[in-house]
Structure 1
């Protein structure tokens, strides 16, 4: 399984995956209009993601196994400067669940976030009853920060979500980033 950048050409395959998973998604995701589940709706969704990517606010990927899309993963809310953080979110259709795709994708995205982008923290929000997703994040060193009450409207009500964080493995509490020049920390004599 690999991740690759989202492309406009992915719209039809995504529409089919979302359409097949629509009943399952009702339980976990925000309500979407009927158009979201069509190729046209996915073209609009992909176009929006690519605009946000061009603006540096988001990095959208497709999870791909054996050359076929098996899910999406995104870094969103990318903030640089003194925060150096983003949030990760992902979706694997029910029929592809339990095969390690989400775990592999999260690992790949963390490597990009921490070692290519130099981000310091990645947040994730997961519904309190989504055990599979909580296991994926725990496997990658995410720790619970707290509960965000009424965080997301899904399945007909406001859902509480657990806020989890993963701090960069290079964090020593002092350095600015993974490639920060340690010589700058040495006082001149």
Structure 2
């Protein structure tokens, strides 16, 4: 379980709740243009509270099963960042994937770096994970800096890895190994 963590005087990191659906929808609407180069093309319904409530319920179900942790950055009632530790596989693998974004108005304040470092620490100390993987578009230098600051290393490049902004795009692959 992720304990809430104050990352700055006005921003709190905590697990998402079903009641956050409205804040999620508002954040995606507010950041729609800003996030469009970095995310898949979204259907209109994605930007609704109903869609976000359904998605959050699925992610909370995955959390209950120990398969993921949906996290948010909050400035008061406003969601200003989304982080997902997902696809947790136990057994000999003990691994998960990480995805994230920070609100345009909060970018460049070190919040992504602080959050990823907190997630790495929690994954190591409390979740017992061995490895976290993440990927970035080749030109997403800011996100690459965030990962490198948190101890991730680039392990390769995957051609046409994800369909982002309407086209299959190459991604750099990163991992952090949490235990020797």
- Tell me, yes or no, whether TM beats 0.5: yes
For residues 111 and 76 of structure 2, the distance between their equivalents in structure 1, rounded to whole angstroms, comes to 12
Pairwise CA RMSD: 1.3
Specify which of 21, 31, 40 is matched with residue 31 of structure 2: 21
Is 2:52 the partner of 1:34? no
Is 2:167 the partner of 1:167? no
The 5 Å alignment of 1:1-80 reads: 1=7, 2-65=12-75, 68-80=78-90
The 5 Å alignment of 1:141-160 reads: 141-160=151-170
For residues 130 and 111 of structure 1, the distance between their equivalents in structure 2, rounded to whole angstroms, comes to 24
Specify which of 61, 76, 86 is matched with residue 96 of structure 2: 86
Q: What SS does structure 1 have at the residue aligned with 2:37?
A: helix
Label 1:145 to 1:121 Cα distance change in 2 as closer, same or farther (>3 A).
same
For residues 162 and 92 of structure 1, the distance between their equivalents in structure 2, rounded to whole angstroms, comes to 20
For residues 67 and 107 of structure 1, the distance between their equivalents in structure 2, rounded to whole angstroms, comes to 23
- After TM superposition, the runs of 4+ consecutive aligned structure 1 residues lying more than 3 A away are 65-68
Flag structure 1 segments of 5+ consecutive residues without an equivalent: 172-189
Does the aligned pair in 2 maintain the 1:61–1:73 contact within 8 Å?
yes
Q: What SS does structure 2 have at the residue aligned with 1:28?
A: coil
Q: What SS does structure 1 have at the residue aligned with 2:155?
A: strand
Does the aligned pair in 2 maintain the 1:121–1:165 contact within 8 Å?
yes
For residues 110 and 158 of structure 2, the distance between their equivalents in structure 1, rounded to whole angstroms, comes to 27
Q: How big is the shift at 1:125? A: 0.8
The 5 Å alignment of 1:85-164 reads: 85-164=95-174
Q: TM-score, normalised by structure 2?
A: 0.90
Larger radius of gyration: 1
Does the aligned pair in 1 maintain the 2:27–2:78 contact within 8 Å?
no
For residues 167 and 158 of structure 1, the distance between their equivalents in structure 2, rounded to whole angstroms, comes to 28
